[in-house]
């Protein structure tokens, strides 16, 4: 019987995988904390701690199940800090005959492992990660020979394939999508529930990162780390979401509120993206709970959540594998500006931006509208280079792994892909931000003013964006009305001058 080495990456912590169903003394599992992974982008300290905690807990679980495990901590004397170097040494030291790994979800790791396998001194076998609802290739095949991808078409296919919220071949209630019902501002804070958190002391990991001089961003309370990092904790959070948050999730999923970072969002993204729990079990649990509690939970709440998981999440992965590596270089608008310094400090006079960035630095989290319509909106209006935006989003959020981050950032948020992911740029003036949040109240800038002293930067930058990119956007059928409105405006020169002044003084906004 061959000696087998099996690699478990930090986002492949799937205890339900076929690998772990039987104990085999000839199999050695390896998990590694590496500088390669802590350093390829500057990560939030909570993100690094979460992955190390999750990996260490998963290693302990494997050991408790009777599996042989080699775990290389960041400061281990045998740790060569790169994937190929560590694997080569382990294969040699343990006289390995067969190396096995699961398909990675990041292009760089896929390339790295493919190249390593081609030169390996032993046989190599590759497995699926058994996590996603469709293969890497499914979306590319589904939209074959089509210039435009439509998430809604993909989402409906997933609903049919897995019989989610369906009655035969038709959607329950005859309606596929309740997005129109999911755009409400939070007006009653008394509806809010506390987030389900876990309090653990992580000073040993914080000290490890400091001793190893790993450069991180953001803040952490070493005495009270709150994120779920095990399968059991993820399932507890899922139960809590269904019982306490789901009844209001859809209604307020786009709302932003200074008094609460999480609102009715599930906080499941990290455990999902680390594969501690599966998207299908999450969706089936939410569907079942919603159908069994229809008096308390309207289908719009359930559908809104399920669409994020089997629609958007799977769709983003499909686009990633259909378009990489060229996708990572796309810059449709040719934007070149550097990210302002306050993206690393939160110190800006713009209340919306200061709050969204400050929350991100403090909690390694912001929900999708904060990412899309506050920080992302400002970056796009300001002409920030997509590489700058990518690096920030990939580093700062606890759930950010490139397959889901780059398609959301470079595609949905920055329209740098020219319309593969989104059919139009997602930009707005202060009006949308005020409509969906309490950010504008008490802000240094005036949400009503386009020009003049203390005019909200979003207002003039919004029109400046459309003006400077008219050659690329004027024929887009979804935004023709904006250009018709712009053509009728009498204060164009003042608005453009205001925007140009703000762009020249972007660091002092």
Is 181 a residue whose pLDDT tops 90?
no
- pLDDT per residue as tens digits for the range 251-301: 999 999 999 999 999 999 999 999 999 999 999 999 999 999 999 999 999
In this structure, CATH architecture of domain 138-323:
Alpha Horseshoe (1.25)
Select from 122, 148, 162, 132 the least CA-distant residue to 7.
Answer: 122
Whole-angstrom Cα distance, residue 205 to residue 216? 13
Prior bond of 420 cis (ω within 30°): no
Distance of CA 497 to the CA centre of its chain: 36
What was the pLDDT predicted at 182? 75
What was the pLDDT predicted at 477? 86
Rg over CA atoms, the chain? 24
- pLDDT per residue as tens digits for the range 113-144: 999 999 998 999 999 999 999 999 988 888 88
In this structure, CATH architecture of domain 4-127:
3-Layer(aba) Sandwich (3.40)
Give the mean pLDDT of 157-182. 89
- pLDDT per residue as tens digits for the range 44-86: 999 999 999 999 999 999 999 999 999 999 999 999 999 999 9
**Element spanning 363, H or E:** helix 351-363
Contact 263, 192 (CB under 8 A): yes
Is 250 a residue whose pLDDT tops 90?
no
- pLDDT per residue as tens digits for the range 323-334: 999 999 999 999
Contact 450, 459 (CB under 8 A): yes
What was the pLDDT predicted at 1? 56
CATH code of the domain made up of 341-508: 1.10.579.10
Residue 192 tokens read as 């809010």
Scored b (16 or more CB within 10 A) or e, 337-351 reads eebbebbbebebebb
Place of tokens 């970072």: 261
The whole-chain average pLDDT of the chain stands at 94
Backbone region of residue 442 per phi and psi (left: phi > 0; alpha: psi in -120 to 50; beta: other values): left
Q: Cα–Cα–Cα angle for 122, 128, 133, nearest 5°?
A: 170
Contact 126, 110 (CB under 8 A): no
Give the mean pLDDT of 436-455. 94
Is 447 a residue whose pLDDT tops 90?
yes
Contact 385, 373 (CB under 8 A): no
What was the pLDDT predicted at 375? 97
Whole-angstrom Cα distance, residue 286 to residue 246? 8
Domain boundaries, the chain: 4-127, 138-323, 341-508
What was the pLDDT predicted at 179? 79
Q: Cα–Cα–Cα angle for 281, 233, 20, nearest 5°?
A: 65
Q: 422 or 278: whose pLDDT is higher?
A: 278
Q: Which residues contact 363 (CB under 8 A, 6 or more apart)?
A: 46, 261
Whole-angstrom Cα distance, residue 355 to residue 376? 14
How crowded is residue 425: how many other Cβ atoms within 10 Å of its Cβ?
Answer: 25
Select from 268, 364, 371, 402 the least CA-distant residue to 48.
Answer: 364
Give the mean pLDDT of 25-47. 96
Is 2 a residue whose pLDDT tops 70?
no
Whole-angstrom Cα distance, residue 293 to residue 406? 37
Whole-angstrom Cα distance, residue 465 to residue 472? 11
Residue 479 tokens read as 């935004």
Residue 478 tokens read as 């979804």
Q: Which residues contact 116 (CB under 8 A, 6 or more apart)?
A: 83, 84, 87, 88
Distance of CA 90 to the CA centre of its chain: 33
């Amino acid at each position: 019987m061959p000696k087998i080495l099996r690699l478990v990456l930090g986002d492949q912590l799937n205890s339900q995988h076929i690998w772990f169903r039987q104990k085999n003394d000839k199999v050695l599992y390896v998990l590694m904390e590496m500088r390669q992974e802590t350093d390829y982008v500057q990560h939030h300290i909570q993100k690094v701690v979460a992955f190390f905690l999750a990996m260490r807990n998963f290693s302990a679980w494997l050991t408790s199940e009777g599996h042989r495990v080699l775990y290389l901590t960041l400061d281990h004397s045998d740790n060569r800090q790169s994937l190929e170097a560590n694997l080569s040494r382990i294969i040699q030291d343990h006289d390995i005959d067969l190396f096995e790994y699961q398909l990675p979800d990041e292009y760089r790791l896929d390339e790295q492992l493919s190249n390593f396998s081609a030169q390996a001194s032993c046989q190599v076998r590759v497995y699926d990660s058994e996590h996603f609802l469709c293969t890497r290739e499914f979306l590319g095949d589904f939209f074959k020979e089509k210039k435009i991808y439509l998430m809604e078409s993909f989402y409906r296919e997933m609903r049919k394939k897995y019989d989610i919220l369906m009655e035969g071949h038709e959607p329950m209630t005859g309606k596929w999508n309740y997005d129109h019902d999911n755009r409400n501002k939070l007006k009653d804070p008394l509806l809010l529930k506390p987030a389900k958190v876990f309090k653990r002391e992580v000073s040993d990991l914080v000290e490890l990162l400091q001793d190893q001089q790993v450069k991180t961003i953001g803040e952490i309370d070493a005495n009270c780390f709150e994120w779920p990092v095990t399968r059991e904790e993820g399932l507890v959070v899922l139960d809590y979401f269904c019982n306490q948050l789901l009844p209001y999730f859809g209604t307020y999923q786009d709302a932003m509120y200074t008094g609460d970072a999480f609102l009715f969002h599930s906080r499941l993204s990290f455990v999902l993206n680390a594969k501690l729990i599966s998207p299908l079990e999450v969706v089936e649990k939410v569907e079942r709970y919603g159908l069994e509690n229809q008096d308390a939970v309207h289908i719009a709440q359930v559908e809104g959540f399920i669409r994020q998981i089997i629609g958007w999440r799977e769709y983003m992965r499909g686009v990633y594998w259909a378009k990489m590596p060229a996708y990572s270089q796309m810059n449709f608008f040719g934007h070149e500006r550097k990210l302002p310094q306050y993206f690393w400090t939160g110190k800006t006079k713009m209340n919306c931006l200061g709050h969204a960035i400050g929350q991100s630095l403090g909690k390694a989290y912001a929900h999708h509208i904060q990412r899309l319509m506050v920080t992302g909106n400002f970056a796009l209006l300001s002409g920030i280079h997509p590489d700058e935006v990518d690096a920030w989003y990939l580093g700062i959020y606890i759930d950010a792994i490139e397959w889901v981050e780059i398609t959301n950032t470079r595609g949905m948020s920055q329209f740098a892909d020219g319309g593969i992911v989104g059919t139009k740029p997602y930009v707005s003036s202060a009006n949308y931000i005020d409509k969906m949040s309490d950010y504008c109240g008490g802000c240094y800038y005036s949400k009503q003013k386009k020009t003049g002293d203390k005019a909200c930067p979003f207002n003039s930058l919004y029109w400046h964006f459309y003006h400077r990119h008219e050659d690329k956007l004027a024929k887009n059928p979804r935004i023709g009305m904006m250009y018709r409105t712009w053509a009728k405006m009498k204060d164009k020169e003042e608005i453009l001058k205001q925007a140009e002044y703000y762009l020249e003084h972007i660091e002092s906004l």
